[in-house]
Amino acid sequence: MKYLTLIISLIFTQISFAQNDSTFIRKIYDEALEKGHAYQNLHSLCKDVGARLTGSAEADMAVKWGEKLLNSYGFDKVYLQEISIPHWERGTTEAGWIEDANGKVHKLNILALGGSIHTDGLINAEVVVFENLDALKKAAPSAVKDKIVFLNDAFDQKMIQTFQAYGACYPQRGEGAKEAGNLGAKAIVIRSLASSTDQHPHTGSMHYDDTKKKIPAAAISTMDADLLSNWLKKGKVTLSMEMDCKLLLNKTSYNVIAEMNGKDDQVITWGGHLDSWDVGEGAHDDGAGIVHSIEALRILKSLGYKPQHKLRCVLFMNEENGNMGGSTYAKWCKSNKEIHLAAIESDRGGFLPTGFDVRGSNEQLAFVQGFKDLLYDFELFKFDQGYSGVDIGPLMEEYPEMLQLGMTINSQLYFNYHHSEADVFEAVNKRELELGAAAMAAMIYLLDSHL
């Protein structure tokens, strides 16, 4: 009923609503595109700090970087929120080779999956291939025992939204090691979750069943996956690999938080995740979301905006392999008896923004779609039911009636870079990054003004 009333109110105040909001949104975009800080801040995060694996020294430095930058903008409050995080290390550089029946050898481009155990030296075994996780689950243990499983589930190139293709392939990374281990495999390698065909292996988190056998798990590049697949069609292939990963004791880290006070203490949260994988520089995933979020708050402050509600920017820690930042934040908000109106996440890269996915009721969707005309000239046109984000997801568990949004982008190139050494600052377009920051600021403004 609340959102229905808001929608009716918007209809009856359409003229003044459009005029006032359109003028301010134009100012937001002017500030982002002419005087923006997003690109220089991303350069600093990527080049001065670097890749930011949870528990690493670089992740610790990223917390200091975020706190210092937020303090430099003079927001009403900047503080750290303590969290307990997992600490996994890749160790020495992974190595892998395949050898066919004729003795031909090829060196693999290979990366351990996040959370994998080590190989305890060089291991080797015959390769057995499955086209997807379901096929592996149906295999007889005798077909898998003491072999190295190869899961070769490729992106469906017919899917226009590459995040849907990623989601369809994700089970081979997330659950592959568990299923292969249950069948007695010695190790598992997967085809990288990538839309492109290149030599970059893509890492990412995976899961074990603590009551079952754990086996080493790695990803190989899509080019190597194609090569291995072709070799297997011709005969027996042996794979050798060595990885030196280790899981250490949990550490203490922090979410970094900045606030602007409003006329009341009801909260609108937004953010991205400060951690990244340890290859590349974490520029698109999720350095872009971090600078989008900081820049959105900076823009509103620089324009002299006076919020209706408490505006809170959160740089979440540990999205990639645990989401302890998101879950700790949500529980903290609930324990403090806060009222949360909405949350927004940017975690889809620094590409051209296209709109916002809406996680909420049909009435909440209609409320957000009421902004379409205001945002159309800024090329934001996608407002559909969808996914919000990993970091803010736990907030929905504590506040099931709240509205959540995930900023959408042109997704065609994202999985060329995702979780790989290719995800560096140079892969981000300055103007597209600035447009993303402006889109975040505009939506925060609209939610704050009309909720």
Residue 7 has pLDDT above 60, yes or no: no
CA distance 419 to 200: 9
What angle, 0 to 180 degrees and rounded to 10, lies between the N-to-C axes of helices 288-302 and 57-72? Answer: 10
Peptide bond into 384 cis (omega under 30): no
**How do 353-359 and 382-385 pair as beta strands?**
parallel
Specify the pLDDT at position 320: 98
CATH number for the segment(s) 93-244:
3.50.30.30
209 CB neighbour count, 10 Å cutoff: 13
Specify the pLDDT at position 18: 63
> Which residues does the annotation mark as catalytic?
319
Confidence of residue 15 (pLDDT cuts 50, 70, 90): very low
Sign, CA dihedral 299-301-306-309, equals: positive
Q: Where in the chain is the domain with CATH 3.40.630.10?
A: 2-88+249-450
What angle, 0 to 180 degrees and rounded to 10, lies between the N-to-C axes of helices 362-369 and 2-12? Answer: 20
Q: pLDDT tens for residues 156-205?
A: 999 999 999 999 999 999 999 999 999 999 999 999 999 999 999 999 99
Q: Does the model's pTM come out above 0.85? A: yes
Specify the pLDDT at position 190: 98
Q: Where in the chain is the domain with CATH 3.50.30.30?
A: 93-244
Q: Residue 298 corresponds to which tokens in the numbers above?
A: 């900076």
Specify the pLDDT at position 13: 45
CATH number for the segment(s) 2-88+249-450:
3.40.630.10
Sheet holding 123-130, edge to edge: 105-107, 95-100, 237-242, 123-130, 148-151, 187-191, 217-220, 110-112
Q: pLDDT tens for residues 114-149?
A: 999 999 999 999 999 999 999 999 999 999 999 999
